[in-house]
Amino acid sequence: SLSSKNALVTGSTSGIGLAIARAFAAEGANVTINGLGDAAAIEQERARIEKDFGVKCRYSGANMMDGPAVTAMIHEAEEAFGSLDILVNNAGIQHVAPIDEFPDDKWEAIIRINLLAAFYAIKAALPGMKRRKWGRIINTASAHALVASPFKSAYVAAKHGIAGLTKTVALEVAQDGITVNAIAPGYVWTPLVEKQIPDTMKARGMTEEQVKHDVLLAAQPTKEFVTVEELAALTLFLCSDAAKQMTGTTLPMDGGWTAQ
């Protein structure tokens, strides 16, 4: 149980982050959720976590593009709940283009949100974790932290960067009761992926099943999507006492993608 713990998950108004935040709450942790989106919809998700699990849930609208806002988000979460014990750096965006045509602002935004924000959050969260001699930091990487695909230079660079950051911080805090790991999903069934299907069906003249099997899951040997619940279960395991000797790892959950 995580009932004495306070957690923060960046990018948790949707998809993987929301499932992780709900899994923490189900184990009794108070959670700070974060992300962009419609204010009323976010408030509904926040209130639903409190109602479903009887924990405290607060929302931070901090933009992960903005370093000082990330730092302030961590300090506010710590003040509101009295500690920050579990930090999940999960917010992420993608843009697909050949590198010689890649828009500068998109490349910079991906590095800021997918990599730099994790640095600012970890930097702000560590002093409290060290004082309390307990902490769990989990970074959402990707199969693209281990292998590349063409046209995703910014994303692949940021996710490989996350794997390196994870190793380095793990070494720095190895004797402080703090573990630092990354999870590396393959293709996950999220609203983000679901929304790409109609356009791909049209563009390629394919059925929904063909798009899923032959396009999206082309690199995923199981030919099945990872689910957000499976990733949340892995994250919960990393927070458990059983995982206290696991640190500095980037753990694939990718249907065999990176075995190839």
Residues known to be catalytic? 155
Query: Which listed range, 22-30, 48-56, 63-71, 75-83, lies at the site for ligand NAD (CB under 6 A)?
Result: 63-71
Name which of 83 and 190 has its Cβ closer to ligand NAD. Answer: 190
Establish if 187 lies at the interface with ligand NAD (CB under 6 A): yes
x/- mask, ligand NAD, residues 105-124, rule CB under 6 A, reads --------xx----------
Q: Residue 250 interacts with ligand NAD (CB under 6 A)? A: no
- Regarding 15 and contact with ligand NAD (CB under 6 A), the answer is yes
In angstroms, what is the minimal distance from the CB of 15 to ligand NAD? 2
Q: Per CB under 6 A, does 148 bind ligand NAD?
A: no
166 touching ligand NAD, by CB under 6 A = no
Q: Counting contacts by CB under 6 A, is residue 14 touching ligand NAD?
A: yes
Does 17 bind ligand NAD (CB under 6 A)? Our answer is yes
Instruction: Return the residue of 49, 88, 93, 146 that touches ligand NAD, per CB under 6 A.
Output: 93
| 253 residue type, one letter | M
Can residue 92 be called a binding residue for ligand NAD (CB under 6 A)?
yes
| Contact call for residue 220 and ligand NAD (CB under 6 A) | no
DSSP code string of the chain: --TT-EEEESS-SSHHHHHHHHHHHHTT-EEEEE--S-HHHHHHHHHHHHHHH-S-EEEE---TT-HHHHHHHHHHHHHHHS---EEEE---------GGG--HHHHHHHHIIIIIHHHHHHHHHHHHHHHHT-EEEEEE--GGGTS--TT-HHHHHHHHHHHHHHHHHHHHTTTTTEEEEEEEE-SB--HHHHTHHHHHHHHHT--HHHIIIIIITTT-TT-SPBPHHHHHHHHHHHHSGGGTT--S-EEEESTTGGG-
* Own/partner long-range contacts of 130-135 (Cβ < 8 Å, ≥24 apart): 130/173, 130/176, 130/178, 132/83, 132/85, 132/177, 133/176, 133/177, 134/85, 134/177, 134/178, 135/85, 135/86, 135/87, 135/173, 135/176, 135/177, 135/178, 135/179
Q: Does 64 bind ligand NAD (CB under 6 A)?
A: yes
Q: Does 128 bind ligand NAD (CB under 6 A)?
A: no
Among 192, 206, 233, 251, binds ligand NAD (CB under 6 A): 192
- Specify the residue, 134 or 233, whose C-beta has the smaller distance to ligand NAD: 233
CB of 31 to ligand NAD, least distance (A): 13
Residue from the set 6, 32, 140, 220 that interacts with ligand NAD by CB under 6 A: 140
By the criterion CB under 6 A, which residues form the site for ligand NAD?
11-17, 34-37, 63-65, 90-93, 113-114, 140, 142, 185, 187-188, 190-193
